[in-house]
Chain A
Amino acid sequence: MMACSDFRAQFQAGTDDAALLRHLRTCDPCLDYAAHSDPDVMFRAIGGDEIVPPGGIDAFVADVMHTVRLRGAEGVIAPPASTWHRRLAIAATLAIGISGASLVYQVEHRARVAPAQSVAAVRHPVERQITLTTKPAVQAYSSPNATIVEVPSETPNDNTQIVMIVDENLPADL
């Protein structure tokens, strides 16, 4: 760091010199000297240094990343472009799931899930055709990667089957 004698020799009112300001910000006797010759320099003394947020930088960064991921998953904020379509597809999938209360599908092995089993997630290993007979506009859905969640009916003898289709390849505009 600059010597005090150099600082006092070089200091001038209204200085923007980085080395002088660095000295001013770390040396109280020279701050006192400078403030008596240029009071405007007084508040410059409290700047310049690195300040760490409470809890430290690691915790701060972790909080930010956690919030970003959380909000990204909620669809509150827009993640970078390349993952955008994928998330849109997931959002569309969920929307179908929610509005799918009236969806009926017919499959060859019309296995009903017993109410006691609650929700069963079935990953279909082979491509299968699902025929949808009501709105929304999906009439059929076919994919080797789909995970279909069957929601059991609460009402006896109810032929309505609620399903949620989760598929990363689901088109965004479905």
Chain B
Amino acid sequence: MIPTQSAEPDDRELVRTIREGSSDAFEQLVRRKTSKVYALCYRVIGNSEDAKDIAQLVFIKLWENLEKYDSQFAFDTWLYRMVTNVAIDFMRSRQSRDNAVNSNLRLVKTATEPEQALIVQRKEIDNVFADISTVLSPKQKTIFVMNQMEDLPSVEIAKILGCRESTVRNHLFNARKLMQRQLQKRYPEYAQLWRSQ
């Protein structure tokens, strides 16, 4: 068997090279992390252009603050902390800007016939989530996305946010409750799934 030789430096090695002054290493790091960072931004923010701007801002802040990274901690934890801070700030400012408009808008959804069996499909779930997750606070939504869509366990999210794991669990519990209530209002056919449990 041919021994595999890893040519790719790991995150910590890359950070060390960047600190020595290599912008090529920084470019490599950006390339490596773009999908991850953008996916989280997109799922939390919900539209691609804003998500792209925020993801770029994250990398610029990363460059600005790289000296502060303590390499005894996982790089991704530190990176995710930066993503959540920037995304939550952005959503808070957007929320306060949009509040006046949203309070007068209510989505009118035609309920499906009760007898009609619901077929759950991924594309539809995407739209449902985008719609009902607007009731969540920026922090609740970020935690929900990290846990349910990025598959991060609550203990890891607690490290990212610098809070207790019980706080993360509380946020998850409340997020679920709020979304179920919204499902009942706007998508009764989906809410029935819970009622039938």
Q: Label chain B's interface by main secondary structure.
A: helix
- Docked-complex contact B59 and A64, CB < 8 angstroms: yes
B52 within 8 A of A: yes
Closest-by-CB residue of B relative to A69 is: B23
Contacts of A36 in B (CB 8 A): 120, 193, 196
Given contacts A32-B120, A43-B148, A44-B148, contact A61 B30 (CB under 8 A): yes
Contacts of A53 in B (CB 8 A): 34, 38, 42, 48, 51-52, 55
- Docked-complex contact B193 and A35, CB < 8 angstroms: yes
Q: Which of A6-51 contact B (CB under 8 A)?
A: 16, 18, 21, 25, 28, 31-32, 35-36, 39-40, 42-51
Contacts of A55 in B (CB 8 A): 52
Choose among A18, A39, A78 the residue that contacts B151 (Cβ–Cβ < 8 A): A18
Closest-by-CB residue of A relative to B64 is: A77
Q: Which of B119-144 contact A (CB under 8 A)?
A: 119-122, 125-126, 129, 144
- Docked-complex contact A46 and B126, CB < 8 angstroms: yes
B190 within 8 A of A: yes
- Docked-complex contact A60 and B56, CB < 8 angstroms: yes
Nearest chain B CB to A4 CB, angstrom units: 15
Q: How many residues of B contact A (CB 8 A)?
A: 49
Contacts of A47 in B (CB 8 A): 43, 145, 148-151
Q: Label chain A's interface by main secondary structure.
A: helix
Contacts of A112 in B (CB 8 A): none
B49-82 vs A, CB cutoff 8 Å, 1 = contact: the mask equals 1011001100110011011000000000000000
Closest-by-CB residue of B relative to A77 is: B64
Q: Give the size category of A's interface with B.
A: 35 or more
Choose among B18, B35, B63 the residue that contacts A52 (Cβ–Cβ < 8 A): B35
A159 within 8 A of B: no
Given contacts A67-B60, A69-B23, A78-B64, contact A28 B194 (CB under 8 A): no
A76-91 vs B, CB cutoff 8 Å, 1 = contact: the mask equals 0111111100000000
A107 within 8 A of B: no
Choose among A18, A45, A57, A60 the residue that contacts B125 (Cβ–Cβ < 8 A): A45
Q: With the chains together, A43 CA to B144 CA distance in Å?
A: 10
- Docked-complex contact B35 and A54, CB < 8 angstroms: no
- Docked-complex contact A80 and B43, CB < 8 angstroms: no
A68 within 8 A of B: yes
Closest-by-CB residue of A relative to B55 is: A53
Choose among A21, A45, A63, A77 the residue that contacts B122 (Cβ–Cβ < 8 A): A45
Given A28-B122, A52-B38, A53-B51, 7 further pairs, Cβ under 8 A: A31-B122, A32-B119, A35-B120, A48-B149, A52-B35, A60-B34, A61-B31
Question: What are 25 residue pairs bridging A and B, where the CB atoms are less than 8 Å apart in the complex?
Answer: A25-B122, A31-B121, A39-B194, A40-B176, A42-B125, A42-B193, A43-B144, A43-B149, A46-B43, A46-B122, A46-B125, A47-B150, A48-B150, A49-B39, A50-B39, A51-B42, A57-B31, A60-B52, A61-B27, A63-B56, A67-B56, A68-B26, A78-B64, A79-B23, A79-B63
